[in-house]
Amino acid sequence: TAGTTTIQAGIVVAYCRHGLDRLWEEAKQLQWQGVNVAAIYIYSKCGKPLHTPPPEGLSRTWRFEELPNVGRNDQTFAQHLAWHAGKDLEDMLIFVKEWAEPHQLKMSEFAPIALRS
C-alpha cells in the first residue's frame, strides 16, 4: 500500500527523441513511496512531438514546451528555474534527461531522502 503523501514533487524533463515510458514508471514508484507528483514539465529541444504523454492519473498538471536547441540539459534546467523564479515551486524538483545510464540514480531513489527531510 502507498504511504501517506507529504512531499509535492515537480519533475523537469529535458526531452529530445527517446520514449518516456521508463520515466513514467519511475514517477509511479515515487507516488507509491508517498511522494505526490504535483507537476511534470517536459521541455523539447529537438522539435520532436511528445510520443508518450504522462499516463492518466500520474500528475494533475503537466506541460510540454519547445525550446530552441541551445545549450545542454543543464541549460534546460536553468531555464525552468529562471521562468519560475519568485513563484511557488514544489517541495522537491527532480531534473532528469529523457534516458539514463544504468549507473545513474532512479527517481524513486530520491523518495527516502525527501521523506526524511
Q: For residue 13, what are the contacts with CB-CB under 8 A and spacing of at least 6? A: 20, 23, 40, 41, 42, 43, 96, 97, 98
Task: Write down the residue that cell numbers 523564479 correspond to.
Answer: 85
DSSP 8-state secondary structure symbol assigned to residue 71: S
Whole-number Cα distances in Å, 92 to 39, 55, 73, 115:
11, 21, 18, 10
Is residue 53 included in any domain, yes or no?
yes
Which residue range forms the structural domain that includes residue 91? 7-116
Please give the full DSSP string across 20-39, using - where no structure is assigned: -HHHHHHHHHHHHTTEEEEE
> Residue 3 pLDDT more than 60?
no
Beta strands in 1-117 (DSSP E): 7-15, 35-44, 62-66, 92-97
CATH number at residue 12: 3.40.50
More confident residue, 70 or 94: 94
Q: Identify the weakest region by mean pLDDT among 1-15, 58-72, 74-88.
A: 1-15
Residue 1's pLDDT band (cuts 50, 70, 90):
very low
Is residue 50 included in any domain, yes or no?
yes
Is residue 1 included in any domain, yes or no?
no
Question: Which amino acid is located at 73 in the chain?
Answer: N
- Number of structural domains the chain divides into: 1
Is residue 24 included in any domain, yes or no?
yes
Is residue 12 included in any domain, yes or no?
yes
Mean pLDDT value across the chain: 80
**CA distance linking residue 44 with residue 98, whole number of Å:** 10
Is residue 87 included in any domain, yes or no?
yes
> Residue 98 pLDDT more than 60?
yes
Task: Write down the residue that cell numbers 505526490 correspond to.
Answer: 36
